[in-house]
Amino acid sequence: MKTIGLIGGMSWESTQTYYRLLNEQVRERLGGLHSAKVILNSVDFAEIEPLQHQGDWAGTAEILTTAAKSLEAAGADFFLIATNTMHKVAPKLQNAVKIPLLHIVDATAEALKADGITTVGLLGTKFTMEQAFYRERLEAQGLKVLIPNEVQGNAVHEVIFKELCLGVTKSASKQAYLDIISDLDQQGAQAVILGCTEIGMLIKPTDTPVPLYDTTKLHANAAVTYALSNDC
């Protein structure tokens, strides 16, 4: 079994979900008392969030590069960034270390394509929904991406930072998200990507007839598949 390096803390609410999913998947696949080999570097999100909103992505990359190097030095065979938004600086992190990065968009796109999805809605932070780094990687794999309108996008973003990252879930926010998902469905989305690792705390597949692709679960599943494979 390969050792998984995990850069977490963005927020820790979703990082604990990653840890649980990684271990559950290993136990399910190997049985017995097996658990995942994981090295975690959990950063302080209070240092990163202001840099995101200031547009200082170089500053965020510096923090996460230090984390990636520490995982490599500690013996991780590959690593994950346990957040969608910070994949904006993924190329810089990959260039800083020799161990491979398992990209969250690739894990998600693989699942979508396997299910025959060609048009998908995307929910996440405004950075993830509106900037090119995420959508273009999906589009490069043949997917058409729909995002909420500006008012809806602002609402999705605010709920993530002011509620979900603090471990808070509200029924009104859940309904707002479900309304947005319904709107994306009416625009032609065959499914919706929960493109923020906290959204799964608020919305469950049973809440809507629209198929939901939870990036946290997909990323964790892909990590365990790779950890248990013979790939170098």
Q: Catalytic: 83?
A: yes
Q: Read off the pLDDT of each residue in 11-25 and give the average, rounded to a whole number.
A: 95
pLDDT at 232: 63
From the CB of residue 117, how many other CB atoms can be counted at a distance below 10 Å? 18
pLDDT at 49: 94
Q: Catalytic: 232?
A: no
pLDDT at 201: 92
Rounded Cα–Cα distance for residues 45 and 8 (Å):
9
Which of the following is catalytic: 196, 197, 215, 216? 196
Which residues in 52-67 are b (16+ Cβ under 10 Å) and which e?
beeeebebbbebbbeb
Q: Which two tokens stand for residue 125?
A: 């932070």
> pTM for the whole thing?
0.94
Which of the following is catalytic: 15, 17, 60, 83? 83
pLDDT at 230: 87
Residue 215 predicted with pLDDT over 80: yes
pLDDT at 91: 96
pLDDT band, residue 231 (cuts 50/70/90):
confident
Q: Read off the pLDDT of each residue in 111-124 and give the average, rounded to a whole number.
A: 97
pLDDT band, residue 210 (cuts 50/70/90):
very high
Instruction: Write down the mean pLDDT value for the chain.
Output: 96
Is-contact 224 232, C-beta < 8 A? no
Residue 226 predicted with pLDDT over 80: yes
pLDDT at 178: 97
pLDDT in tens, 137-189: 999 999 999 999 999 999 999 999 999 999 999 999 999 999 999 999 999 99
Is-contact 179 148, C-beta < 8 A? no
More confident residue, 4 or 231: 4
